[in-house]
């Protein structure tokens, strides 16, 4: 089979020879610079000279996941990079993924230790947790009923208690959506049952989920598979919990108008990723396809300065100092770019400063991080 001239595949040097070449380059520049750190210029990488394994990985990352949902989104939680998008801003009914906002408004404005009495008027919608008039629940337990079995009556109870009325609480939800710039979102109720004025988008739901996951109480609720409350066992409808490695929440949703919906979070050593599917015939198939695509093709890698011995500089007074990063930065990389990850030290700035570390991969600037000069 002929090769495209735009993607020439070159046979790489054996790994030991490549390592020796890099070591000689670093040591040689260290000597020439007078015992300072390597002042490396951008390496002359030929971006079309890919090793065979890189070609395979490049082809794989370009092979998009098969997703049949009406809208879908895949976001790396570290970099916030969107790795897959299908109709991301299309306004669609969001079903019970609505309850993410219901929970967030309640967490912000309510007291979780409050005791709430279930009223007959709260039960005009179905109660998956079997709420009964006259029962007494804490607001905290009602949030678990809302988010695990996705109880619609719990949404009404929470809205009445926190907002004074369901309508007033929905106004709070819409005010929060406006505050966060969610231009595709409008709420008509706190539970997500179909209504022509009730809609959101994959991008907006991702924003709501990310804000929620930054709230420890919200994150704890949505990651719970099962909880005892109100004298009964509440079970999370999210089937990924316990079945998909690293699954951490977030919220399911299903109505006749919305179809199957799911906002999902997964976290492993390779990275954390958020997916959204709306209007799906099989939300778990679509979500697994998105999450599997991420873990098969991307890695979140730590950015560091490499061997300690080459990070020594000499101050103007003759003393030595060791270069160190101020934080612990990371970067998201497709697998095919990993062999090209390198760090360059930018020329030091003002007197007494250690300059910047520039991390690049295959000619792409990933990050610039300030350096500290520490006493050895």
Q: Which residues are catalytic?
A: 96, 99, 150
CA distances, 329 to each of 69, 249, 266, 326, 366 (Å): 35, 26, 21, 9, 10
Distance CA 309, CA 38 (A): 11
The secondary structure of 205-232, three-state, reads HHHHHHHHHCCHHHHHHHCCCEEEECCE
Nearest to 279, CA basis, from 136, 38, 9, 87: 87
Which tokens sit at 11? 């046979």
The secondary structure of 306-344, three-state, reads CCHHHCEEECCCCCEEEEEECCCCEEEEEHHHHHHEEEE
- In angstroms and rounded to an integer, the radius of gyration of the C-alpha atoms of the chain is 26
Which tokens sit at 139? 């607001």
Residue 77 is given by DSSP the state: T
Which tokens sit at 269? 């050593």
Residue 107 is given by DSSP the state: H
Biggest CA pair distance of the chain:
83
| CA geometry: angle 345, 76, 190, nearest 5 deg | 145
Q: Name residues whose C-beta falls within 8 Å of residue 13's C-beta, 6 or more positions apart in sequence.
A: 21
Distance CA 35, CA 311 (A): 10
Beta strand ranges found along the chain (DSSP E): 71-76, 82-86, 115-117, 136-138, 226-229, 232-235, 247-255, 259-268, 271-280, 298-302, 312-314, 320-325, 330-334, 341-345, 356-361, 364-374
User: Is the dihedral angle over the CA atoms 17, 19, 25, 31 positive or is it negative?
Assistant: negative
Q: Name residues whose C-beta falls within 8 Å of residue 352's C-beta, 6 or more positions apart in sequence.
A: none
């Amino acid at each position: 089979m002929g090769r495209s001239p735009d993607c020439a595949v070159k046979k790489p040097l054996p790994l030991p020879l490549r390592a020796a070449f890099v070591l000689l380059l670093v040591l040689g520049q260290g000597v020439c610079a007078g015992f300072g750190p390597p002042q490396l210029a951008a390496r002359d990488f030929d971006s079309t000279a890919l090793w065979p394994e890189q070609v395979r990985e490049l082809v794989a990352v370009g092979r998009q996941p098969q997703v049949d949902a009406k809208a879908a989104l895949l976001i790396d939680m570290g970099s916030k990079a969107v790795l897959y998008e299908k109709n991301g801003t299309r306004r669609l009914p969001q079903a019970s993924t609505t309850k993410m906002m219901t929970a967030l408004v309640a967490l912000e404005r309510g007291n979780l230790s409050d005791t709430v009495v279930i009223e007959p008027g709260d039960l005009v919608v179905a109660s998956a947790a079997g709420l009964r008039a006259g029962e007494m629940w804490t607001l905290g337990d009602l949030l678990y009923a809302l988010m695990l079995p996705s109880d619609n009556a719990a949404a009404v109870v929470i809205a009445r208690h926190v907002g004074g009325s369901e309508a007033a609480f929905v106004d709070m939800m819409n005010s929060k959506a406006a505050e966060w710039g969610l231009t595709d979102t409008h709420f008509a109720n706190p539970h997500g049952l179909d209504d022509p004025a009730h809609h959101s988008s994959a991008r907006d739901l991702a924003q709501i989920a990310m804000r929620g996951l930054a709230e420890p109480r919200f994150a704890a609720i949505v990651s719970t598979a099962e909880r005892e409350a109100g004298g009964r066992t509440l079970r999370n409808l999210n089937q990924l919990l316990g079945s998909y490695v690293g699954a951490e929440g977030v919220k399911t949703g299903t109505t006749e108008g919305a179809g199957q919906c799911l906002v999902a979070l997964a976290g492993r050593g390779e990275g954390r990723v958020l997916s959204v599917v709306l209007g799906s015939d099989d939300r778990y198939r679509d979500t697994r396809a998105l999450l599997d695509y991420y873990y098969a093709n991307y890695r979140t890698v730590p950015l560091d300065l490499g061997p300690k011995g080459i990070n020594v500089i000499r101050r103007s007074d003759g003393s030595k100092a060791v270069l160190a990063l101020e934080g612990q930065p990371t970067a998201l990389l497709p697998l095919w770019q990993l062999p090209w990850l390198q760090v360059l030290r930018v020329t030091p700035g003002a007197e007494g400063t250690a300059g910047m570390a520039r991390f690049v991969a295959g000619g792409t600037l990933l990050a610039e991080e300030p350096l500290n000069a520490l006493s050895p």
